[in-house]
Every structure is written in C-alpha cells, then in structure tokens.
C-alpha cells in the first residue's frame, strides 16, 4: 500500500528549515565549517558540518532533542495535525541519540536528567501535546528503517498516521573515533571522488508525516508525495565494512514492495559517505542491482554539502527527494571532479543542479554499521 506524505521538514548545516536547506543544496553550498562543538587541538581533522545555533559559542545539553522537536513540529504543522489526532505515533531513527548530553555531563558538569535522555519529554513540550515516541538506533540507516516500521504500523492498523523522524548531532567521542579510523585526514566530504579521503560528521534532523490515503481524504489534508515502499536488509557481514550483497537485497526488496523496476526511476539519492570502502561498495551494488539503469539515472550525493548526519541522513535524503520531485531540480554533488573507477559509469550530477521537471520516482539509499541497509522509493503525486 502506498502511503501519503502530508508533511515534511529538514534542518541542516546549510539551512534552518526545509526551504532554506533545499535552496542551498541546489546552489551546491557546503556547510563545512571550523569545528565548533569542542576544541580541535586534540584531533587531526579540524572541520565538520555543524548547524550554527550556539549564540554563546558553547555547546549545550539536549541540543539533539531540540533539533528533532523543531523538525517534527514543522512537519506536523505542514500536515495540519492537531492534538485531536490521537492515533498517531512518532518513530525516531538515530545513531547517537543524546550522547553529546552525556559527554557534557561528564566533562563539564552540565546537568541532564535520565528522563531527558528519551526524546519524548522535549518533543512533547515543544509540540504542546503528548504523543508516544519510539526510538530505534540502527546506525546510519536508522531514519529510513523508521520509515519501514511506520509502513508496518499503518498497514496493520496500529496507527492512522506516523510521524517519522531522524536526528543526530556531532559528539566528541564519535568524532574522535572517525578521526583515528580514517587512514587519511579528510578536509571535506567528496562522495565517489577519485581523490576522496573520508567522512566528516554533520548535524541534522528531518521528519515526515505518513498516512493511509483514505485517512488523508477524511481530514482534507494535502499530500506532498507518496511513499511507494521501503526495502531493508541486515547482512551482519562486518562491524563497519559494507557488503554489496546486503545492499543489493535491500534495493531489490524496495523495488518489490514499490512494484517498480530500476528503469522506472528518475533520480537516485545515494548514501555517498566519501569513504574509500563505502563508496566503492555502493557503486558496485548499484551496478549489480540496477544494471544498465545505473549508468543513466541522475545521481545526487548531498552529504558533500551536509556532511554525514548519521541516523538523520536517510530521511534528509527523503525530504530532499520529495522537494526534487515537487520543484523539478536535483541538487548537485559538491567537490566532485574525477570519478573513482567503480563509479565511472554513474551519471553523477555536479557543478550545478539538474532540471528534472518530469521526474516521478526517486530512490534514497541509507546504509549503516553492521550491514543495516534501508532503501526508500518516493513517488510524485499525479
């Protein structure tokens, strides 16, 4: 069953809302900045893709929850949800949750209570009414996995509508881990670029409202697009290294659920982390799963401008894809000059946004540690 998307929102380092973010992405703007969250002198890498929302220049607890709540509130407002919509649940996908709050508690003594570590308290305070909140932590594919869970909830009748959200902010411990794991020291994120050096983290949050089409008609809401299907897999091949076969299974599952073929697609939002192994594996898997279509379908890798927003990244890609279908413009891939060997066949959009006025179907990839993969297919309204 196709589900209506009646509201959407995203907050990234290039824009404080959906409109500003998408416009900046289409201009090819990068949100890369000198590191703000903590001192850079301990690290080899000195930059990240952070949202500039620290007026006093000091990090604070519950910042992730605040960004999440802002995105959820914006999507709910666009969908015209109210406190009367009681058969509604929020499903949040995240990789790191409120880890940064714990770091600030231990290192600076900033206060945070145990119940504040769950997103529900802050989210409901900002919404102004109470909704149940379910959080899943499926690494970098978490928010696309949340879409799949939302599909199940609506199709089995557990809820009439689901607010699906994703959020993550940069943490010192994860930043340090990546700083040591990367064999080189990246200065920017360059997906599928021959000379890429690795990944840099970014802040971000996104949300969409999903509903069964008949429920939308009952309350006279205006859909933005349709969620045609979400395919998932968990290959558990390696803690960090991706597996092409697992990615292929997720893509094929998405096509089956959405009742589409690769040749039906009009654009592809790739996972595109800028790391040597992830980009190589994704390119190989796309060729295996999509065949000749992998050579022609326009490709955008927006992490080149937002950085890697971890659990939020999949849903940020979904919101960007919805706007592409609605506005007929596909953002370019920044910092892309020379394709790596495995991606030489791919139609990667660079330099400037591509006009796609007749685009109807979009694929959005999200892959995470441990081989958790989730691929969404979004369809334009007729």
pLDDT at residue 218, rounded to an integer: 77
Give CA 241 to chain center in angstroms.
20
Q: What is the pLDDT of residues 151-183, one digit of tens each?
A: 999 999 999 999 999 999 999 999 999 998 888
pLDDT given for residue 339 in this prediction: 96
The parts of the chain modelled with pLDDT lower than 50 are none
Alpha-carbon distance of 259 to 186, in angstroms, equals 40
Residue spans of beta strands (DSSP E) within the chain: 3-11, 33-34, 47-48, 88-94, 133-136, 161-168, 204-211, 225-234, 267-269, 298-300, 329-330, 347-348, 354-355, 361-368, 372-379
Q: Find the angle CA(155)-CA(327)-CA(285) to the nearest 5 degrees.
A: 60
Q: What pLDDT is attached to residue 308? A: 98
| Torsion region of 220: left, alpha or beta (phi above 0 gives left; psi -120 to 50 gives alpha) | left
Q: Could you tell me the two tokens for 182?
A: 């990367």
The CATH class of 3-218 is alpha beta
Q: Would you state the pLDDT for residue 88?
A: 95
The question of whether 26 is a catalytic residue gets the answer no
CB 351 within 8 A of CB 28: yes
Identify which of 262, 336, 338, 280 has the alpha carbon closest to the alpha carbon of residue 303: 336
Q: How far is 254 from 202, CA to CA, in rounded Å?
A: 27
Quick one: DSSP state of residue 311?
Answer: G
- Does 234 participate in catalysis according to the annotation? no
- Pick from 79, 190, 99, 210: which is nearest to 144 by CA? 210
Q: Which two tokens stand for residue 170?
A: 């940069």
Answer left, alpha or beta for residue 23, where phi above 0 means left and psi between -120 and 50 means alpha.
alpha
Q: What's the pLDDT at 29?
A: 98
Q: Which entry of 13, 88, 287, 308 is annotated as an active-site residue?
A: 308
CATH 3.40.47.10 domain locations along the chain: 3-218, 228-379
* Predicted local distance difference test score (pLDDT) of residue 85: 80
Query: What pLDDT shows up at residue 240?
Result: 82
Number of C-beta neighbours around residue 41 at 10 A: 7
Q: Which of 47, 88, 271, 287 is catalytic?
A: 271
How many whole angstroms separate alpha carbon 268 and alpha carbon 254?
A: 13
For the question of residue 345 being annotated catalytic, the response is: no
Q: What is the CATH number of domain 228-379?
A: 3.40.47.10
C-alpha dihedral (148, 272, 172, 49), degrees to nearest 10:
-110
End-to-end CA distance of the chain: 16
Strands 33-34 and 47-48: what pairing? antiparallel
Catalytic residue among 140, 234, 287, 338: 140
- Which structure tokens are listed for 118? 């769950």
pLDDT on residue 217: 78
* 186-191-194 Cα angle (round to 5): 80
Give the model confidence (pLDDT) of 103-117 as tens digits: 999 999 999 998 899
- pLDDT at site 382: 79
Helix (H/G/I), strand (E/B), else coil: 285:
helix
Taken in order 31, 205, 137, 43, the sign of the CA dihedral is positive
């Amino acid at each position: 069953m196709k589900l209506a998307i009646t509201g959407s929102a995203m907050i990234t380092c290039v824009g404080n809302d959906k409109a500003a973010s998408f416009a900046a992405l289409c201009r090819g703007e990068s949100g890369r900045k000198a590191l703000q969250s903590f001192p850079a002198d301990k690290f080899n890498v000195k930059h990240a893709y952070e949202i500039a929302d620290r007026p006093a220049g000091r990090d604070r607890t519950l910042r992730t929850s605040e960004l999440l709540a802002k995105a959820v509130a914006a999507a709910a407002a666009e969908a015209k949800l109210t406190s009367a919509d009681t058969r509604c649940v929020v499903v949040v996908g995240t990789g790191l949750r409120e880890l940064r709050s714990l770091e600030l508690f231990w290192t600076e003594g900033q206060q945070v209570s145990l119940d504040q570590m769950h997103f529900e308290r802050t989210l409901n305070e900002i919404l102004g009414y109470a909704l149940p909140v379910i959080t899943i932590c499926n690494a970098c594919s978490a928010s696309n996995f949340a879409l799949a869970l939302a599909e199940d909830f609506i199709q089995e009748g557990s809820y009439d509508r689901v607010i699906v959200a994703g959020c993550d902010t940069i943490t010192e411990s994860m930043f340090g881990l990546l700083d040591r794991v990367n064999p080189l020291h990246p200065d920017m994120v360059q997906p599928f670029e021959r000379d890429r050096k690795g990944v840099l983290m970014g802040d971000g949050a996104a949300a969409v409202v999903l509903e069964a089409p008949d429920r939308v008609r009952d309350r006279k809401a205006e859909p933005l697009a349709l969620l045609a299907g979400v395919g998932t897999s968990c290959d558990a091949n390696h803690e960090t290294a991706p597996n092409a076969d697992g990615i292929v299974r997720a893509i094929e599952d998405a096509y089956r659920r959405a009742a589409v073929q690769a040749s039906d697609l009009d654009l592809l939002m790739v996972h595109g982390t800028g790391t040597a192994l992830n980009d190589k594996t994704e390119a190989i898997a796309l060729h295996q799963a999509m065949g000749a279509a992998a050579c022609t379908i326009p490709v955008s890798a927006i992490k080149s401008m937002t950085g890697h927003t971890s659990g939020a990244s999949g849903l940020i890609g979904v919101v960007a894809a919805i706007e592409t279908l609605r506005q007929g413009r596909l953002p370019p891939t920044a910092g892309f000059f020379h394709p790596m060997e495995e991606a030489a066949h791919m139609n990667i959009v660079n330099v400037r946004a591509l006009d796609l006025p007749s685009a109807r179907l979009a694929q959005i990839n999200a892959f995470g540690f441990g081989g958790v993969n989730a691929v969404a297919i979004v369809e334009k309204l007729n």
